[in-house]
A = this chain, B = another copy of it.
Amino acid sequence: MSEPEKSENIPDESAGKGKEIPNGGNPAKTKEDFDLAAVYVSDAQYNRNIYFDTSPQAVRLYLLYNHWLSKVLLYFFILLDLSLAIFEEPAVFSLPIWATMLVELLCLLAFTIRLVHYAKVIPRDKFWKDPKNICIIVTLMLTLVDMIIYGALKATNCYGVRWSRVLRPLLLINVTEGRQLRRAFRSIRNALPQIFYVFLLFMFSVLIFSLMALKLLGKRGLKTIDGAPYFTNYLEIVFDLYVLVTTANSPDVMMPAYNASFVFAIFFIVYILINTYIFMSVFLAVVYNNYKKYLKEEVRQLVRAKRHKMARAFAVLQEQREEGGELVVTQANWNQVVRLVRPDISNAHRELLWSVSDDKNQGSIGKVAFVQLADLLNIEVITLKSRPHPLHSLCPAFYLSAPSRLLCRIVQHRAFVIVYDLIILVNAVFIGLDEENPMIANSEWVFLALYLLEILLKLYVFEPRAFFSRHSFWNWFDTIIVISALIATIVNSAMKSSGGYTSRQILDIVFILRVLRLIRVVDSIQRFRAIINTLIRIGPMILTFGQLIIVVYYVFAMLGMELFKGKVKFFEDPNDPAKAYCGNPLLKDTAFAQLNYCKNNFNNVVSSFILLLELTVVNQCSGFATVTHISARIFFVLFHILVVIVIINIFVAFVLEAFFVEYSVDKSDLQTSLERKIEELELAVEQYVTVTTRMFEADLDPEDFAENDDQNGNFANPTFSSV
């Protein structure tokens, strides 16, 4: 429950150990050796944890397994499988059953191939020990069984439920290399026992307050706004007070009692203080504390596994310079491996990395220095600053002339930024004004021209590859937005002048792009930039939470669609009399219908997802209990517990932790030593290490290799357990 599961153990040391014996001769390394070492290094760099066979053909299969194309294909099939919900009944776009079934079979086939491929790569006994694989196999089998049953039922015109659809997200968790997603699920699972005890106490408090409310208010003959008796049924009270914690029915639930006497308001105030404020904070504290604790442990194991792999790569490459001397890796061998791992990096960059590792200039490095390589490769070095502008090389006479130099000075001046910030502000006002006015409409061309001019000027002044380097977020953002806006505006005015017809969609895109252009202004304010940069940096991790949310939403959407499909209908036609009660007579005169919530339904997967998002923000579900049964509320309470109390709190904990790290962390030693070297060479360095790794990596002793933990043949592998 608390320990990451230990599978894929017993590292296959034979390949490395075999090379250790020929000490004196130092036989030349074969191509297979370099391939193997490169795979180890690359695994360490990307934190992959797969214990593949070390035979040359297994290594080749393993390379294929990790190839970007096979990963893209896998994600495509998962996406296809998940998006089938759009076409299956209740569908957004209806397709015949045989079509969706066929596509699903194709997906299942693709997952099976992937699994077989994986089984070929790793030793057989390891394959069967891994719960992840068992989980995939069971899911595939169950899906197949369900499809057969459903097909048979449909063929005989019986009613059938595609219950295996709730299993689909399991594939997203287990089939992909979605380590972070699995880690997030594990961290939830680990936090559950503690959350559970607080939850029990919280529910106890809700039950006690409900009992008190029943006794205090039940016999007073109060009426709700609908004229129903107020607080007379215990279970109703429990539910109402639970919803009050989500603040959804505040202050409505309190008004009848408050109207009777203001003394009763005290009851609700105490309730809100204890249950909404204190208990919800305690939930956050428990989730946050567990999150930190387990994440720390997982990251520690990840770092240990990385070092272990680098040590294995070292064992493959090691040589002994003199009899009884230290085992080392020579620069030639090191170069060979780095070239295999990262064919894209320049010679200068590679030499820089070598000079950081071999800081005493001995021509060879020991184990400790070699192990750093995986981290060194993860530090983004931009070697472009020293590179001259292409125009400078092409026609230096022109580029270095006085007017050209003046232009460069102007563009680099602070005033240039300020002028463009003012232009953006003026543009914002123009956007706010009525665009039907021809003067305003034409001004758009002026602004577009100004923005284009800015980008061109910057490209003239700065080296284009530096300008469009991988992490110059704002340059990319600017250019993409301006060019898209240019294209969309041209298309729009072409359509307008040709047929006098304006496509609403294109106009919408033009508007959105225009407004997005304004965001750029935050980049010129130092304080804002710091906050935005942190947000951009935690972006990838937010995507992990996105996946987590999608998994949970998908399961609830599938359940919800089975439970509530067709119960609440939305009518496009405003004159349809059924529109007033969402096509369900049970909803006549309810607040749900009066507030025009008819489109909040489970009639297809898209509206289900939107409804679930609304429920995450504010848990309003009265309508669905009305159209089905009072017990439908259980579905909504479960959803609230899982999403709001657990997942949103983990999300908040994650953002908190990321900001604290931004506030407190210093650069790693490695980065500092790299920067020192770079300063000598006058290069620019940019930081690119994922946040979570940085959070706890500092705790680990650099001399601590995984082998030390390995004496009993058990290597704690943090990524190989499934949900």
Contact = CB atoms under 8 A, between A and B. Distances in A.
Contact of A259 (B204, B596, B656): B596
Contacts of A652: 277, 281, 284
A608 to B, nearest CB: 11
Nearest to A281: B655
A265 B431 CA distance: 23
A642 interface: no
Given A211-B428, A216-B512, A225-B595, A655 B532 contact: no
A663 B289 contact: yes
Nearest to A293: B663
Contact of A250 (B234, B286, B614): B614
B284 A211 contact: no
Contacts of A254: 614
Contact of A197 (B200, B285, B528, B535): B528
A651 B519 contact: no
Contacts of A607: 262
A613 interface: yes
A284 B281 CA distance: 12
A570 interface: yes
A659 interface: yes
Interface residues of A, number: 77
Nearest to A204: B522
Q: Main SS of the interface on chain A?
A: helix
One complex includes copies of this chain to the number of 2
Contacts of A234: 432
A45 interface: no
A192 interface: no
Nearest to A598: B259
Interface in A521-537: 521-522, 527-528, 531-532, 535
A508 interface: yes
Nearest to A597: B255
A212 interface: yes
Contacts of A262: 599, 606-607, 610
A597 B251 contact: yes
Interface in A585-638: 594-597, 599-600, 606-607, 610, 613-614, 617-618, 620
Contact of A201 (B201, B511, B528): B528
B197 A512 contact: no
A603 B265 CA distance: 16
Given A225-B595, A289-B660, A659-B282, A515 B215 contact: yes
A278 interface: yes
A674 interface: no
A272 interface: yes
A247 interface: yes
Nearest to A515: B212
Contacts of A518: 208, 211
A560 B614 CA distance: 32
A259 B215 contact: no
A656 B265 CA distance: 28
Contact of A512 (B212, B606, B613): B212
Interface in A640-671: 648, 651-652, 655-656, 659-660, 663
A484 interface: no
A651 B277 contact: yes
Contacts of A251: 597, 600, 614, 617-618, 620
A293 to B, nearest CB: 9
A269 interface: yes
A284 B198 contact: no
A333 interface: no
Contacts of A599: 255, 258-259, 262
Interface string A532-546: 100100000010000
A288 interface: yes
6 contacts: A208-B518, A211-B432, A258-B599, A278-B542, A281-B652, A289-B660
